[in-house]
A and B are shown apart, each in its own frame.
Chain A
Amino acid sequence: MSLMKRISLIFRSKANKALDRAEDPRETLDYSYQRQLDLLSKVRRGVADVATSRKRVELQVAQLEQQQAKLQSQAEKALQMDREDLAREALTRKSGLTQQINDLKAQYAQLQGEEEKLTLAQQRLQAKVEAFRTRKETIKATYTAAEAQTRINEAMSGIGEEMGDVGMAIQRAEDKTAQMQARAGAIDELIASGALDDASQLSAGDDITRELESMSSQADVEAELMRLKGLAPGKEPGAIEGGSSAEGEPVVAEQTESTTEGEQQ
């Protein structure tokens, strides 16, 4: 027997086992309808759970990207101050984050896929449950219990298959989400502990990070100074290195000027 056929038979028998049968076949319809509504709320919760996990991963990506940008600017400042060793350290830490971010982005895509699948499953089940409700009312209004049996069986196995399918989809989504939540939890802990944080906060005790930190603030001061001097008229942007040379140049210029003036007189 073909694989498709085998799967079909086994799936159907499993799905049918889940259906409740009542003494009065028309009551079976009501029981089943109740279970369908239960399953619908379960799949709605499933969609919400996956969405929550997806948002959590999204937030983590944003946090790590922010830290990456911080390390990048630390590396740039370090290079401006001719501290290649510190720039290297910051970039090393930054590249460590890249791996994490790529991993999280892959997880994000997977969760997004699960969310879409479950949403579609929910819509399909919803349509079938509505069809079932209509059919149920028609059967109850039109047939006696004895007459109704065949029609009830048809409706029940049709919806049973859909319920089995959706039930499986929920289970799969839950399994996948649980795996990712465990990993997301580990990353949250890393972020909280500061281990993935920017280099200045990372293991605040070590010399390199302290140096990076002080260098950062030093560099910030220099940048601010440069900006302020840039605003002042008549100042060369290159003249900020040492105070003495910056003051020296205009003095020389004045002297030259006065000499020229003297010659003219």
Chain B
Amino acid sequence: MIVRILGEGQYDVSDEALDRLNELDAALEAAVDGGNEEAFRSALEALLEGVRTVGVPHAVDALDESDLILPPADATIDEVRQLLAESDEGLIPG
């Protein structure tokens, strides 16, 4: 499946590798819910590093939608909450 790290691009990740990523994802979710910035930072780093390690960069000129989208590496907990907030605000400026 295709995983996008925002601000970095898309990676192809095999389904077998997904279990491990799901564990890391759960840790990240707990950190966001708990509002623990420190735990959030290390969980996000672990998750993104996991994707970069098991994933292979997806062809840059492909027009494929990602199956999963992850926050940028330098996102704060507030920014992730903002990403999760349902709003009508578009993502593309201008």
Which positions in A face B, CB cutoff 8 Å?
2-8, 10-12, 14-15, 17-18, 35, 38-39, 42, 117, 120-121, 123-124, 127-128, 130-132, 135, 154-155, 157-159, 161, 163-172
Bin the interface of chain B by size: 35 or more
Is B63 touching A124 in the complex (CB atoms < 8 A)?
no
CA distance A135 to B61 in the complex (A): 11
The chain B residue with its CB closest to the CB of A36 is B92
Q: A3-B32, A161-B4 are in contact. List 8 more A-B contacts (CB 8 A).
A: A2-B25, A7-B69, A123-B60, A155-B63, A157-B65, A165-B7, A170-B93, A171-B93
> Which residues of chain A are within 8 angstroms of B94 by Cβ–Cβ distance?
38-39, 42
18 A-B contacts (beta carbon < 8 Å): A3-B29, A3-B84, A4-B25, A4-B70, A5-B68, A14-B91, A15-B91, A17-B88, A35-B92, A38-B94, A117-B7, A157-B65, A161-B69, A165-B91, A168-B6, A168-B7, A169-B72, A172-B7
The chain A residue with its CB closest to the CB of B92 is A167
CA distance A42 to B88 in the complex (A): 22
Partner of B63, one of A8, A123, A128, A165: A128
Is B65 touching A12 in the complex (CB atoms < 8 A)?
yes
The chain B residue with its CB closest to the CB of A134 is B61
Is B91 touching A163 in the complex (CB atoms < 8 A)?
yes
The SS class assigned to the A binding surface is helix
Partner of A128, one of B60, B68, B70: B60
Q: Which of B32, B84, B90 has the most CB of A within 10 A?
A: B90
CA distance A155 to B22 in the complex (A): 28
Query: Closest CB of chain B to A180's CB: distance in Å?
Result: 15
User: B25-47, CB under 8 A of A: which get 1 and which 0?
Assistant: 11011001000000000000000
Q: Contacts A2-B22, A163-B91; is A10 near B70 (CB within 8 Å)?
A: no
CA distance A4 to B63 in the complex (A): 21
Partner of A8, one of B66, B72, B90: B66
**Closest 7 pairs between A and B when the two form their complex, measured CB to CB:** A158-B63, A164-B91, A167-B92, A3-B29, A8-B69, A18-B90, A131-B61
> Which residues of chain B are within 8 angstroms of A170 by Cβ–Cβ distance?
93
Q: Contacts A2-B22, A4-B25, A155-B63; is A124 near B92 (CB within 8 Å)?
A: no
